[in-house]
Amino acid sequence: MSAIESVLVENRVFPPSDAATRGARISGMAAYEALCKEAEKDFEGFWARLARENLDWTKPFTKTLNESSAPFYKWYEDGELNASANCLDKHIGTPVENKTAIVFEADDGSVSTVTYKDLLSRVARFANALKAQGIRKGDRVIVYMPMTIDGVVAMQACARIGATHSVVFGGFSAKALNERIIDAGAVSVITANFQMRGGKELPLKAIVDEAIGMGGCDTLRTVLVYMRTPSACNMVAGRDKTFEEVLKGQPDQCEPVSVNAEHPLFILYTSGSTGKPKGVQHSTGGYLLWASLTMQWTFDIRPEDVFWCTADIGWVTGHTYVAYGPLAVGATQVIFEGIPTYPNAGRFWQMIEKHKVTVFYTAPTAIRSLIKAAETDEKVHPKNWNLSSLRILGSVGEPINPEAWMWYHRNVGGERCPIVDTFWQTETGGHMITPLPGATPLVPGSCTLPLPGIIAAIVDESGKDLPNGSGGMLVVKRPWPSMIRTIWGDPERFKKSYFPPEMGGRIYLAGDGAVRDEQRGYFRITGRIDDVLNVSGHRLGTMEIESALVSKTDLVAEAAVVGRPDELTGEAICAFVVLKRPRPKGEEARQIASDLRNWVAKEIGPIAKPKDIRFGDNLPKTRSGKIMRRLLRSIAKGEAITQDTSTLENPAILEQLAEKN
């Protein structure tokens, strides 16, 4: 039975326990419904109240929502604040100031901690260093860093001086980094000499050098290098400086720069349905409100909690639930440098026990790989550790199959911890559809109901509401504070991608398919409906991978990429390739496929490597030359072709492509 089918017959329901409901921020469904009603009755009043209660404004806002240039919505537009002040300075003079802000566990297991007061000093010093390098409010700064306290310090320091950061995941290639530096017009790259992952020292600075060497980075003036390991790295005189050099003599106080609520806090690149990644631009006020609010609503965060979100700061989850959210609410959080399988696949469970983690937030792909590991090796099964500190579990990034949900619930949560299956996207800034741990009855595989004030629906192509039980497109009908503001430098693409004119141009199109169940109206996400793939929770565009393949111009004539369901990674990348030479077979085909995989890793990053590459003399096309992707999807799955192939120009090609190398 496939994951989707098993959800369709899912009838297990897990109501919140008394322990989960007691003292919860939103306790019981009536409390949830009351908030929904409040938002319905006075939409702007609701969002104004929450923004006043949850954020410190240096200049209070008087306007809540401006829809006059929709879909370019503005929230709290005449208000001013600083994000870093709202994460750090806010706690000074309260009991939180001497509380541990971050427990950092390095790849090798060594631990260091920093209090809120010390974190503020570090951020202030780094902010002064950035200013001394000539970096000013509105400048864009690339952060290409490993998971460290310093990565968070770099982001917070940018926010403190009003510089817009754009974090690039450390697994992206030089080419991907080069494109992002250019698109953002970045003045500086903050990086490290190396990163440590799974006992290996992997270069970062060398990739930065390669990226800059590719040309076009005309706006770039400085590269700041954190020496993560004692190993030397190449330094370009006049351009590159170590953290030590730039921090020398900098005072540990730095006045936070007040910025407008709409000021871009960050740009984060993500894949879309064309070859070029989109620079998703987020605001300061609305975004930070959401980071703070969802920490309280979804994670029900309390003063004594130890929160651990396993996401890298290179993804949006690592922005909202590592760099900003936990700090905004004064929580203690764990940050982990390494990987879940080193030194063995018990690392997560061991760390939960060691740091007494109470709220744990990770991705289904990690859970599935740890299930597999525990099934083959008893010694890494979670039962070997004391996980009784856990109170709430979370899931994010892709649909979680009910089997994995049940395992997580039993073996990690001890059948005691609610699982919040949080649906959201880079564009939404934070959680959108998710259970509330002290209120929502849980159904495995369902992200349940939208947060208060989020008007989500399922519609057909024309934007018409569909009844519960029928699948359609997931949309959000009203704006929300942390929504994407625009695509950096491409407002037209923003409108076209997210607010299709066929639906009236005011409804946010998520790009996912979904269905609501008939009994409860619960949402279940069925996956992307555009040309975006989700591989191990990483988002990749099929066109992006196709462009990478055909950019090997001496070899590749044409390529088409589709996704195929995969037990471990959710989806796997399958590429169909036509070479500029006769179709290879056997050993030659395997060799070329391996070369092409490495090529894609160099062009985009190892996460984009196709799992399966098939060669053909051509691709299945209609007489008008359109590639028939639905056929390719069937071939990738290994299904018999039942679709109508009468419009196909070259039916013989299907057999070729079905052949594995």
The contact pattern for ligand WT7, residues 472-511, with x = CB under 6 A and - = no contact, is --------------------------------------xx
CB of 655 to ligand WT7, least distance (A): 33
Select the residue interacting with ligand WT7 from 442, 447, 476, 593 (CB under 6 A).
Answer: 447
Question: Contact 419/442 with Cβ under 8 angstroms?
Answer: yes
Q: Which is nearer to ligand WT7, 14 or 43 (CB)?
A: 14
Q: Which is nearer to ligand WT7, 89 or 398 (CB)?
A: 398
Q: Is 535 in the site for ligand WT7 (CB under 6 A)?
A: no
In the three-class reduction of DSSP (H, G, I as helix; E, B as strand; rest coil), residue 224 is classed as strand
DSSP assignment of 479-506: --TTS--EETT-HHHHHHHHS-GGGTS-
Query: What are the residues facing 514 on neighbouring strands?
Result: 472, 525
Question: Contact 491/72 with Cβ under 8 angstroms?
Answer: yes
Select the residue interacting with ligand WT7 from 528, 552, 564, 621 (CB under 6 A).
Answer: 528
In the three-class reduction of DSSP (H, G, I as helix; E, B as strand; rest coil), residue 613 is classed as strand
Q: Which is nearer to ligand WT7, 260 or 395 (CB)?
A: 395
CB of 271 to ligand WT7, least distance (A): 8
Q: Is 402 in the site for ligand WT7 (CB under 6 A)?
A: no
Q: Is 526 in the site for ligand WT7 (CB under 6 A)?
A: no
Q: Is 607 in the site for ligand WT7 (CB under 6 A)?
A: no
Select the residue interacting with ligand WT7 from 319, 347, 539, 564 (CB under 6 A).
Answer: 539
Length of the chain: 661
CB of 282 to ligand WT7, least distance (A): 12
CB of 31 to ligand WT7, least distance (A): 23
* Stretch of residues binding ligand WT7 (CB under 6 A), selected from 244-252, 396-404, 490-498, 622-630: 396-404
* 539 annotated as belonging to a binding site for a ligand: yes
Q: Is 440 in the site for ligand WT7 (CB under 6 A)?
A: no
Q: Give CA–CA dist 620/652, Å, rounded.
A: 9
Q: Of 135, 112, 118, which Cα lies nearest the Cα of 246?
A: 135
Q: Is 301 in the site for ligand WT7 (CB under 6 A)?
A: no
Q: Give CA–CA dist 421/447, Å, rounded.
A: 5
Q: Give CA–CA dist 653/465, Å, rounded.
A: 41
Q: Which is nearer to ligand WT7, 353 or 398 (CB)?
A: 398
Q: Which is nearer to ligand WT7, 179 or 421 (CB)?
A: 421
Select the residue interacting with ligand WT7 from 17, 273, 425, 551 (CB under 6 A).
Answer: 425
Q: Between vectors from CA 340 to CA 306 and to CA 7, what angle results, nearest 5°?
A: 85
The contact pattern for ligand WT7, residues 244-263, with x = CB under 6 A and - = no contact, is --------------------
Virtual torsion, Cα 175, 177, 179, 180, nearest 10 deg: 170
Q: Which residues contact 295 (CB under 8 A, 6 or more apart)?
A: 301, 307, 321, 325, 326, 328, 329, 331
CB of 165 to ligand WT7, least distance (A): 17
- Residue that is written with structure tokens 């407008």 in the block: 260
Q: Give CA–CA dist 387/306, Å, rounded.
A: 13
Footprint of ligand WT7 (CB under 6 A) = 270, 315-317, 396-399, 421-426, 447, 510-512, 525, 528, 534, 539
